[in-house]
Amino acid sequence: MKGKLEPSERQTLIEQGKNLKEGLVALEEDLLKLNDELQREAQCIPNMTHPDVPIGGEDCSTIRKTVGSAPKFSFPVKDHLQLGKELDLFDFDAAAEVSGSKFYYLKNEAVLLEMALLNWTLSEVMKRGFTPLTTPEIVRSSVVEKCGFQPRANNTQVYSIDNSDQCLIGTAEIPVGGLHMDSILAESTLPLKYVAFSHCFRTEAGAAGTATRGLYRVHQFSKIEMFIFCRPEESDYYHDELIKIEEDMFSSLGLHFKTLDMASEDLGAPAYRKFDVEAWMPGLERFGEISSASNCTDYQSRRLGIRYRPSEALVPGPKKSKGNLAPPQFVHTLNATACAVPRMIICLLENYQQEDGSVLIPEPLRPFMGGRNIITRKSS
């Protein structure tokens, strides 16, 4: 085109140039679609598993630790539903009319108990160097997927909002995981430790049976979640730290519980290793899960684009330049439930019930209950 050309030749080349430009636009559109498809396929691949994880289904999970012993009662034990009815703490019937099954109203001291659990948990975890957060409770579907959840799958636990690319969160792990999305963190800032309060929403698809009655399995609940971003070589250490925080808090509430190293089929897509805490629930006459702590290694950070730049330069020199900076690496992410309110209420009501139908408040929660130390029947 720069040389001397006949007008007809020039016109031919102009047409060819237009065709190339249009073809390139089409190819770029195809490339975007293929990249999206590749990302979706890759997101179906689960994380690796820790060499010590038991292989198999939930029954293959191993007990790491047992704390305390089941309380002995000299009277017939009531479950939380009966206690809640007699002490006027819940209303499931009205909630079913207003919202549907698996919803509830908390009333009277149950409301104070929820607030006490949240405030006590938050203060305990903050003492250990965690930054408090409240989070958005509606997030983009893409962030849910990048955290390892499948919002559009069959039997999904995720509520999707019609005619939008947004979902309700099932855990604060999702918005906290997205907090540093597509960023490179300075190594000196790690570890980043957050403790987040949020409401959680779950479809509980496929859940049924007496073990799910009452507050045990519900569509909406309050939860406090711990989340850590750290260097890869430190994630096993922080996994142990998270489970110890949980164990310390549940011990101080006087609960009888066991900690499990969960088997491979129960890990879910993101977790490299997961420890669950199951507490004794006398009314249900069984242990029930109240918490878990997961090391997700770089599974979430790769999808969310969260990296850090090691502070050591590749080639030591007087000045740091782009040429001698160490390449950024993916952080590891960990999450752990500090307090899932409904199941904690079950544990406290059933374990601390008294023969006269009242329920004692555990010592650590009393300052957060306005000084109350017992829940008694309302005088008619």
pLDDT of residue 42: 79
Specify burial of residue 213 (Cβ count, 10 A radius: 0-12, 13-18, 19+).
Answer: middle
**Largest separation between any pair of C-alpha atoms in the chain:** 107
Query: What H or E segment, with its residue span, contains residue 80?
Result: helix 80-86
C-alpha span between 225 and 134 (Å, rounded): 10
Catalytic residues: 202, 217, 289, 292, 343
pLDDT of residue 98: 97
pLDDT of residue 324: 72
pLDDT of residue 320: 56
Residue type, 340: A
**The two structure tokens encoding residue 284:** 């249900």
Residue type, 377: R
- The residue written with tokens 């045990």 in the block is 216
C-alpha span between 265 and 257 (Å, rounded): 22
DSSP letter at 58 equals G
DSSP secondary structure string, 186-212? EGGGPSEEEEEEEEEE---TT--SGGG
Specify burial of residue 272 (Cβ count, 10 A radius: 0-12, 13-18, 19+).
Answer: buried
List the chain pLDDT tens, one digit each, 380 residues: 666 777 777 778 888 888 888 889 889 999 999 988 887 787 788 999 999 999 999 899 999 999 999 999 999 999 999 999 999 999 999 999 999 999 999 999 999 999 999 999 999 999 999 999 999 999 999 999 999 988 767 778 899 999 999 999 999 999 999 999 999 999 999 999 999 999 999 998 666 555 678 999 999 999 999 999 999 999 999 999 999 999 999 999 999 999 999 999 999 899 999 999 999 999 989 999 999 999 999 999 999 999 999 987 655 555 656 667 889 999 999 999 999 999 999 999 999 999 999 999 999 999 999 889 999 998 76
Residues sharing a CB contact under 8 Å with residue 257, sequence separation 6 or more, in sequence order: 66, 67, 68, 247, 250, 277, 278, 279, 280, 287, 290
DSSP letter at 179 equals G
DSSP letter at 176 equals H
Task: Name all domains of the chain by residue range, CATH numbers in brackets.
Answer: 54-312+326-375 (3.30.930.10)
pTM of the model: 0.88
Q: Is the peptide bond before 328 cis (omega within 30 degrees of 0)?
A: no
